Chains A and B, each alone.
Chain A
Amino acid sequence: MTVATNYPAATAYRRILDPANRHNPYPYFAELCRVPVQRLDADTWLVSSHEAITRLLRDPRMSVQDRDIDTTDAPLGSDGEPVTGPFLFRDPPHHDSLREQTMYRFAPRIMGLRPNIEMLVTGLLDKRLSDQPGQLDVVAELAYPLPVGVICELLGVPPEEEPVFHSFAGRLTKALDPEETLTEQEITELAVTRREWREYLMPMIAQRIEHPGPDLISALLTDGDPSTRMTLVELGITLGMLLIAGHETTVNLVANGTLALLRHPEALARLRTDPELAAAVVEEVLRYDPPVQLTGRRATADIELDGHTIRAGEHVSLLLAAGNRDPRRFADPDAFWPERPNNAHLAFGGGVHYCFGAALARMEAQVALTVIVTRLDNPRLVDDPPPYRPNMLLRGPEQLRVAHDGITG
């Protein structure tokens, strides 16, 4: 197996990150996918086949935790261990209790949310009823306000606070960029934003301790066994994570989905006549153009994979977007085919860190795409390709202008 070592590794990483490829990175990913496991640099591997990614996502020897982090000043969490970050970036067993507590309170609250999401999306389109025929930026006017509106509803944040949440969501999302891509100023700003976020949350939390409501924050504060309940610090970090992790990803899912449908008018027409197709459309969007393109892990032990040995301590980049178009797993992988059978895509990752908000993201996208295709008369793409955000990790258009002949009421 010498293919990998012969591969121009540094070039590969540069090409993955190159914004010039952003409008269509898939031909290059298809090249990468031919070699399931390859070295990127001295201590990083790139994994791009469906099988290898699936396996590593569920491997107990893959860590998400930054083990070099200085924990001397870190406050202690509910398990007596230093709090080093949200559960998204913590390994079992520390991850487990925090995720479980949050999930038990989150999952039942989203189950009945479909009608509320329908109202939210409908309301956003209604705002534009007056200026038809015209043009709609699906990103700014629909995809962007939707997840923040939903999370505010879950957290019991009054509507007048939504703009504040919007602003935090945008600013905190920087935390998801790879650290090496941030400037010193951006890192400083991020620290300030985090402090402001904590300060903003404090009175909200205090108020719910006094007067618990039916919302998620109140439940996290008061439900369950007090001896294992998350601390206030953990709560703040968890809420921040829910806000950012569910924000830009959902924006991108709705935008990427709209784009895919507009580029495949026959699928769009079928969704318009059969709203039940929405679930299948969303799964195919998740495979075809996933909002999260890449995820990282670090090996905690030597792992044999595809003829290579990934050494303990080495980093592994899992190129989810490439695995989603692996021809060994998906027939005709570049085709957008909602009826695709056995669509076990990797868009939400897998294993213990499987996307916490996947069910909510699915629901939001199913509703949004259905409403868009049923209410916009003769929708057309204004720019193809649309301008993209520079972030490689989270893929989505900056702006998605759609011309239409009117919005039906």
Chain B
Amino acid sequence: MNTSAADRVVIVGASLAGLRTAEALRQNGFAGRLTLIGAEPHEPYDRPPLSKTVLSGWLGTDQVLLPRTCDLHAEWLLGVPATGLDPAAREVRLADGRAVAFDRLVLATGARARRWSDPAEAALRGVHLLRGRDDADLLRADLAEAVEANGRVLVIGGGFTGSEVASSCRDLGLPVTVTQRGAAPLAGALGEVVGSAIGERQQAHGIDLRVRTTVRRLEGDASGRLRRARLSDGSALDVRVAVVAVGSVRDTGWLRGSGLTADERGVSCDAACRALDAEDRVVDGVYVAGDVARWRHPRFDTGPVSFEHWGNAVDQAETVAHNMMSEDVRENDALPAFWSDQFGLNIKAVGMPAVADQVVLAQGSFEHGPFVAVYGRTGVTVGAVAVNSPRVLDGYAALVTERAPFPPVIDALRSPGRMVPVDSRIPHPVQELVTVLEGQS
């Protein structure tokens, strides 16, 4: 069923996925009414620089706005979150009491940073999250004061955001402690073998890295300012700033009663980005794109997952626009890809390293210089990560696309059989998730 010029398309979420969907709709010829609803008051901006060039001080938060490649002739309802969805009446209710009618709906509300579990501790001045522009402005101001006072920064969580924040804080000359519940930073995405290699390099940049360590308590002074952190290793740290980087959740409570399948892991959809109900049936006219989408990637035999990747937002936006405008339903099977820049390292990955059972060093060395590691799952190549080797990653992406045998042979002429795979040591949450989901399927 094609979207016609008489139709009104409403996109909830005015960040990358929402913007790109709007652009793609117009470029595909959609001539009807178009409305973008955003919880933040800002026009669309790019999030990846917030933890990097913005935090380290090169760019202001007004220097990361996203370009628009065509005039959208859209209504922008910014600074107003959606609070309800009535699929029968086909309208979205907003926090300011308005109701916006739609013929087609796109859910692109993204994710938010998971808050610190203790609300009183989370409310201390100096305790931060980093997800949006306003978070970045607040954190920057606090870090500037910390520089004056030479105060220590505590980063809670050694995932990509936490590691990038730690890197930017080191750029500012601040002493930094990172706590990581698991055995290595970045382990959730890249496994402990590669995570440990990167962790070593973080330490070489002066990070006080505490693995297998959690923060028990954040303590403030009488004025409500963060002063100290008590860690699970028994130590107490004087800290000026704490950044909570313990993952993300999706606010989908407003979709309760809408007939969609949604929880903090995301809104269920199929590979064609069409929302699904509790019986996995397509909900007519409702699409999902970006971080909030939870779906089963056709290239990997895993259960449904959400991909919090910049590229996924872009790919799904294209898919949504295509499927809204065209009779032939297209699945998004683009290979997942993501990157991180930290401590002078360019880390780029393709595929799904997080579902691997084994990993092998394909090029370079874990200890120093560039390297490439390839991930396998039950004898099939499923992913690769390239550290300071961006120009060879496409070659490995082709192996993942082909489902090449693992370990792949890279240099049969020089040293056949040189590569010895080891257990990738992807920590439990992901592996359990995958196992559980596979058990269901």
Contact = CB atoms under 8 A, between A and B. Distances in A.
A–B contact (CB under 8 angstroms): yes
A354 interface: yes
A324 B63 CA distance: 36
A248 B369 CA distance: 34
B402 interface: yes
B265 to A, nearest CB: 35
A62 B396 CA distance: 12
A300 B394 contact: no
Given A60-B363, A60-B372, A67 B413 contact: yes
B145 interface: no
A61 B391 CA distance: 13
Contacts of B423: none
B364 A61 contact: no
A300 B412 CA distance: 6
A249 B253 CA distance: 62
B364 A93 contact: yes
Contacts of B362: 60
B114 to A, nearest CB: 37
B392 A58 contact: yes
A63 B404 CA distance: 20
B410 A351 contact: no
A196 interface: no
Contacts of A61: 395, 409-411
Nearest to B395: A59
B278 interface: no
Interface residues of B, number: 22
A60 B369 contact: no
Contacts of A301: 408-413
B395 A58 contact: yes
B412 A55 contact: no
Given A58-B392, A301-B410, A96 B398 contact: no
Interface in B318-355: none
A313 B413 contact: yes
Interface string A292-320: 00000000111010000000110000000
A36 to B, nearest CB: 14
A302 B399 CA distance: 12
A96 B390 CA distance: 13
A92 interface: yes
Chain A interface mostly helix, strand, loop or mixed?
Answer: loop
A173 B370 CA distance: 33
Contacts of A93: 363-364, 369-370
Interface residues of A, number: 22
Contacts of A313: 413
Nearest to A96: B370
Nearest to A63: B413
Interface in A89-121: 92-93, 96
Interface in B371-422: 372, 391-396, 398, 402, 404, 408-414
Chain B interface mostly helix, strand, loop or mixed?
Answer: loop
Contacts of B372: 60
Contact of B410 (A54, A58, A96, A300): A300
Contact of A55 (B398, B409, B413, B414): B398
A84 B391 CA distance: 23
Interface in A145-178: none
A183 to B, nearest CB: 31
Contacts of A64: none
Interface string B80-98: 0000000000000000000
Contact of A302 (B363, B391, B409): B409
A352 B392 contact: yes
Contacts of B413: 63, 67, 300-301, 312-313
Contact of B391 (A54, A55, A300, A354): A354
A329 to B, nearest CB: 15
A301 B413 CA distance: 7
Contacts of A63: 413
B348 to A, nearest CB: 12
Contacts of A55: 394-395, 398
Contacts of A60: 362-363, 372, 392, 395-396, 410
Interface in A43-102: 54-55, 58-63, 67, 92-93, 96
Name the residue among B369, B372, B410, B413 with the largest chain A CB count within 10 angstroms. B413
Interface in A328-361: 350-352, 354
Contacts of A92: 363-364, 392
Contacts of B370: 93, 96
A61 B414 CA distance: 11
Contacts of B408: 301
Interface of A: 54-55, 58-63, 67, 92-93, 96, 300-302, 304, 312-313, 350-352, 354
19 contacts: A54-B394, A55-B395, A58-B391, A58-B393, A58-B394, A59-B392, A59-B395, A60-B363, A61-B411, A92-B392, A93-B364, A300-B413, A301-B408, A301-B413, A302-B412, A312-B413, A313-B413, A351-B392, A354-B391
